Structure 1
Amino acid sequence: MTEHTKIDHSMDNLDASTSSTSGPTVLEKSKPRSEKMATNKVECNACPVLCQITEGRTGACDRWGNQEGQLVRIDPVVLMRRLDDSGQAVRAEPVACEAPDSLTALEMHDIADADVKDANSLFVTGVGSGTTYPDYKPAPFIVSSRQQGVDMVTVVTEGIFSYCSFKVKIDTDRYLGPEQSNVRFKGEIVGHVTTAEYGSQMLSLGGVHHLTGGSKKEGRFTCDMMMALGNKQAVELSIDGGAQLVVQAGKAPIVDGVEEKRMRVGCGSATIGIFAKQWWSHVDEVIVVDDHITGVLSEHQAGKCLDIPPSGIKMKGRKSTPGRYFQVANPGNGWGGTDITDALTIIEGWDADVAWPGLRLLITSTTGEHAEYYELDDQLTPQRKPMPEVLQKTVDRIGENCEPSMCSVMFLGGAGGSLRAGVTENPIWLTNSIKTALVNVTCGGAPAYVWSGGGITVMVDVLRMPDNSFGYVPTPAIVAPIEFSMKLDDYIRLGGHADAVRKIEDVVQHDRHRIIDWFDPTSPWALGHKPMLA
């Protein structure tokens, strides 16, 4: 299947890209062909788009296709394999498998590769599991396994999320744009700038109002941007009144064509506190330039504790507490996230009764990328001098203590709506069980943070998820994996679809799948959380 079908309800939902060339596997029941539908088409009921798919083609989402008149799931479901204590995959004899005759040679190879010693070392993720919406039927996979002597159930689906967004943390002091400014993708508004955090700037991208509340073009571009961002691809963005950005999860941000290298060691005041003792006796005054809090050593509490005498310096900006100045310059791409290129411009002058000729002055940024050394002449005018080696070492140490700049991308989605009906007949029991830690929520096997308060609002780091975890439906909405894991007894008590439970061995033997090793040693195994097994 290499082409998309035409969808009767809207020709605008066509996508010129091609689908996966790997064969389909799990056969699903499609809606009976209506009299108005061509005989070589099937109607997909996986989502409200209701694509009418021609034989040999896929629907608009690339997830479902028509093979010989049957609606089939194109992607293999992704299974996580737990590693042993040495970090090696647990492998032994191949799992016995009697695959349906309809599977291709490629699919048979996929199943034969499931030579795990124990199928219970696998976790079925929602990636590739199939999209079902509205969920008037059980989720695509409801799988039982045994973990640490406990019978467990994992309910697996790919949720359709309109109420979702990405929160992006960009490690930089560069000026990206005013808070609340629009963020654009290919000219369309797809989000806004939110608060600055310590050494980082934050963006909020996507959301239901951009997906469905604006023009059709805005919704389509928002969906494209979100899917690319979630799938760890680079996305070019522009900020009204601010910077041009290239953002990619796990990569350094590119701001106005320049790749960021370091995030700051701290604000100017914090930098003074960290390095004051290393400057003591080697310099008379230090200014650490920062867009938020610029530090001045001789006035700072750290300088007072070291008995560093006043220098007579007069700073621009608004003095906060001693040695801490706000608003010494405007935000920008210069020193310390300000707009200055000449560090001396933030000094108003010197008190002639306090300052002295020969006074040694170091000015540095919070990353050490900018640093200059001066000495006052007889007129108390700073004259630039070669940087003494002992001071250069401290500047280098500032840089050494700066972490590499990176973009962090968090998916935030409201798992409400009918996907809960795919888990249980009484959704409030599922919600309450999550709040009491009886149910663990993961996304692609990655740990998800569940926000407090009402509903099931989850947040997950996309870097911890398998590659290409996100898809879309052209309503438009984002398709994302989500899994609910719990004890089998608890699943039955919360009104789960007990008749739809399948053993993990059955999935391995009869469903096309792809096994990947659990790749993040910093994350817990999806079925290994102590609250679930207590």
Structure 2
Amino acid sequence: MTEHTKVDFGAERVDGEVASTPGPTVLEKSAPRSERMASNKIECNACPVLCQISDGRTGACDRYANAQGRLIRVDPVVFVSRAAVSGAEKPAVAFGAASSSSSLAGAQPDEQEQALFVTGVGASSTYPDYKPAPFIVSSKLDDVDMVTVVTEGIFSYCSFKVKIDTDRFLGSEQSNVRCNGEIVGHVTTAEYGSQMLSLGGVHHLTGGSKKEGRVTCDMMLALGNKQAVELAIDGGASLIIRAGAAPIVDGVEEQRMRVGCGSATIGIFARQWFGHVDEVVVVDDHITGVLTEHQAGRCLGMERSGLRIRGRKSTPGRYFQVANPGTGWGGTDIQDPLAIIEGFDPAIARPGMRFLMVSTTGEHAQWYELDQHLVPRIATMPDVVRRTVERIGENCEPSLATVLFIGGAGGSLRAGATENPVLLTRAIKQRLVNVTCGGAPAYVWPGGGITVMVDVARMPERSFGTVPTPAIVAPIEFSMTLDAYRDLGGHLEAVRSLESVLANGPDHLEGAPLARRTMARNAANPWPLGKPPMLG
């Protein structure tokens, strides 16, 4: 993103020739003017930057443009089709044109209307938000009158939480995460089989240098729009992450998320090992398991092997800190699994004893037999044991990077829905309002305010934008019954039927065509007009 203040930007998107863009959307019949503004410019009030845009040029965000003296929204508004359920995007059509979705072919007009949902993607924002939201749309669900308040929110208080399925050591907790050399987040607490990052946030967007803010905003835009991002962790790994794709750690694409910790793996496969091994060690950075000491081995009546292992014993058969974190066996720094073995008790162990050492993903495995001096020697792994190692891998889910957007939908954004914003907040907490982002279900955090969290993989393509303040632009929709909207003091005078919106676009366009892009509903998403999910 390039930093701009009250300046022109490019002209590439003004004529609507960008792929999937059927044409511009007129936003204002006449834009507000500044006394110092040149006569051939108009001022965009979609965000606090207030760009002054020449004819044929776009503003700094590349989302708004001057088209012969009219302020237009370059991107189309995204509609979600209820009837067609898939991940495929439907061809774009203008308002008033027939949908090309085959699932709607032959449907009556009222049926077509109820099968469409207006999302905030491309809907425009209404800064300052004392104005009603760009779309306040009425529709019906099972003969109940519904209202959806639709807008693109400008978020400074927002971040991404990234879940990376790997046991590899990415970096110490609280280590800085960098993008293009700038600090854009930190490593947070590891979860079961995953390493977690917290990226973005208001302090990086606005609390540091201008470069830090720009890099952070660019990184967040790319993550939200499901693009690959390169990151480096201080004292740790280099990463390439993309929502819904396998993470790349130090140049190696991850394949498997562990089946469980070392202790859990012992519990899962103990019965399958019984009778074929004398000992199993499942190497894990967090909890390494030893079969014959473990409760699972004891319940099976297995005799102790006499194996002595490094680390701090927790409970029988469970050991912490057997090695340092790393990218080797089980997320440790070891390449030779025997490095964690101190030896065998000669009073218990015997020559010929057989034991398996395996990682929590099954990617590393080695079979040993003790010689006459009780020294482990590599031997050929029996087929029956090899199949258990393969089963460990079979039970590992594919390693993915999951990107969750978290945004605080507070401040004046709520004024676009009601003159009394606290009533909207209360109605959401009372489960009277369903909150979605681009039609995807959003989790609303408990406590004060409206803090939403959504999986970007379930949102439409190109859902996120930016403004050069810098801040992230993200879609948000509030759906409720008409009665609930009336009770919270909503802008009833701005409510328009879905039929009217489809035929004419927003009121302030006076019948000018509005670009529309219709997408099939993501199969993982419930219909946005349904009952809100339970809150935490």
TM-score, normalisation: structure 2: 0.91
Q: Secondary structure at the match of 1:412?
A: strand
Aligned residue type for 1:525:
W
Structure 1 CA distance, aligned partners of 2:497 and 2:521?
24
Asked whether the equivalents of residues 5 and 53 of structure 1 are also in contact (C-alpha less than 8 Å), the reply is no
1:59 aligns with 2:59: yes
Can you list the C-alpha shifts for 1:454-493, whole angstroms capped at 9, x where unaligned? 0000000001100000000000000000000000111111
1:145 aligns with 2:145: no
Correspondence for 1:445:
439
Asked whether the equivalents of residues 5 and 58 of structure 1 are also in contact (C-alpha less than 8 Å), the reply is no
Aligned sequence identity (%):
69
Correspondence for 1:520:
522
Structure 1 CA distance, aligned partners of 2:161 and 2:96?
35
Structure 2 CA distance, aligned partners of 1:384 and 1:42?
77
Aligned ranges for residues 423-442 of structure 1 at < 5 Å?
Answer: 423-442=417-436
Asked whether the equivalents of residues 136 and 418 of structure 1 are also in contact (C-alpha less than 8 Å), the reply is yes
Question: Structure 2 vs 1, CA of residues 369 and 298 (structure 1 numbering), >3 Å: closer, same or farther?
Answer: same
Q: Residue 529 of structure 1: CA displacement?
A: 2.1
Aligned ranges for residues 496-511 of structure 1 at < 5 Å?
Answer: 496-511=490-505
Asked whether the equivalents of residues 82 and 521 of structure 2 are also in contact (C-alpha less than 8 Å), the reply is no
Structure 2 CA distance, aligned partners of 1:371 and 1:296?
15
Aligned ranges for residues 40-55 of structure 1 at < 5 Å?
Answer: 40-55=40-55
Question: Which one of 99, 113, 120 corresponds to residue 99 of structure 2?
Answer: 113
Can you list the C-alpha shifts for 1:156-206, whole angstroms capped at 9, x where unaligned? 000000000000000000000000000000000000000000000000000
1:352 aligns with 2:338: no
Q: Residue 17 of structure 1: CA displacement?
A: 8.2
Question: Which one of 299, 313, 316 corresponds to residue 322 of structure 1?
Answer: 316
Aligned residue type for 2:65:
G
Asked whether the equivalents of residues 82 and 115 of structure 2 are also in contact (C-alpha less than 8 Å), the reply is yes
Asked whether the equivalents of residues 30 and 43 of structure 1 are also in contact (C-alpha less than 8 Å), the reply is no
Aligned residue type for 2:530:
G
Highest relative contact order (Cα 8 Å, sep 6+), 1 or 2? Answer: 2
1:491 aligns with 2:485: yes
Asked whether the equivalents of residues 438 and 531 of structure 1 are also in contact (C-alpha less than 8 Å), the reply is no
Asked whether the equivalents of residues 49 and 469 of structure 2 are also in contact (C-alpha less than 8 Å), the reply is yes
Q: Residue 87 of structure 1: CA displacement?
A: 7.6
Structure 2 CA distance, aligned partners of 1:10 and 1:53?
6
Question: Structure 2 vs 1, CA of residues 70 and 107 (structure 1 numbering), >3 Å: closer, same or farther?
Answer: farther
Can you list the C-alpha shifts for 1:370-399, whole angstroms capped at 9, x where unaligned? 000000000000000011111100000000
Question: Which one of 307, 310, 329 corresponds to residue 335 of structure 1?
Answer: 329
Can you list the C-alpha shifts for 1:58-100, whole angstroms capped at 9, x where unaligned? 111122110110111111111111027x9899x9xxxxxxxxx
Correspondence for 2:510:
none
Question: Which one of 453, 472, 475 corresponds to residue 481 of structure 1?
Answer: 475
Q: Residue 121 of structure 1: CA displacement?
A: 1.4
Q: Is 416-425 or 61-70 further displaced after alignment?
A: 61-70
Q: Residue 37 of structure 1: CA displacement?
A: 1.2
Q: How many residues align?
A: 511
Question: Structure 2 vs 1, CA of residues 531 and 364 (structure 1 numbering), >3 Å: closer, same or farther?
Answer: closer
Question: Structure 2 vs 1, CA of residues 328 and 18 (structure 1 numbering), >3 Å: closer, same or farther?
Answer: farther
Aligned ranges for residues 257-406 of structure 1 at < 5 Å?
Answer: 257-406=251-400
Structure 2 CA distance, aligned partners of 1:351 and 1:7?
72
Aligned residue type for 1:520:
N
Question: Which one of 185, 197, 201 corresponds to residue 203 of structure 1?
Answer: 197
Aligned residue type for 1:60:
A
Question: Structure 2 vs 1, CA of residues 5 and 168 (structure 1 numbering), >3 Å: closer, same or farther?
Answer: closer
Q: Secondary structure at the match of 1:232?
A: coil
Question: Structure 2 vs 1, CA of residues 362 and 484 (structure 1 numbering), >3 Å: closer, same or farther?
Answer: same
Structure 2 CA distance, aligned partners of 1:462 and 1:17?
27
Structure 1 CA distance, aligned partners of 2:10 and 2:391?
51
Q: Secondary structure at the match of 2:97?
A: helix
Q: Secondary structure at the match of 1:183?
A: strand
Question: Structure 2 vs 1, CA of residues 417 and 486 (structure 1 numbering), >3 Å: closer, same or farther?
Answer: same
Structure 2 CA distance, aligned partners of 1:69 and 1:18?
16
Correspondence for 1:471:
465
Asked whether the equivalents of residues 94 and 515 of structure 2 are also in contact (C-alpha less than 8 Å), the reply is no
Can you list the C-alpha shifts for 1:312-350, whole angstroms capped at 9, x where unaligned? 011000000000000000000000000000000100011
Can you list the C-alpha shifts for 1:243-292, whole angstroms capped at 9, x where unaligned? 00000000000000000000100000000000000000101000000000
Q: Residue 29 of structure 1: CA displacement?
A: 4.4
Asked whether the equivalents of residues 188 and 197 of structure 2 are also in contact (C-alpha less than 8 Å), the reply is yes
1:169 aligns with 2:141: no
Question: Which one of 119, 131, 136 corresponds to residue 130 of structure 2?
Answer: 136
Asked whether the equivalents of residues 182 and 190 of structure 1 are also in contact (C-alpha less than 8 Å), the reply is yes
Correspondence for 2:34:
34
Asked whether the equivalents of residues 126 and 481 of structure 1 are also in contact (C-alpha less than 8 Å), the reply is yes
Q: Secondary structure at the match of 1:463?
A: helix
Structure 2 CA distance, aligned partners of 1:346 and 1:290?
11
Aligned residue type for 2:97:
I
Question: Structure 2 vs 1, CA of residues 17 and 208 (structure 1 numbering), >3 Å: closer, same or farther?
Answer: farther
Structure 2 CA distance, aligned partners of 1:212 and 1:484?
28
For the aligned residues, what is the CA RMSD? 2.3
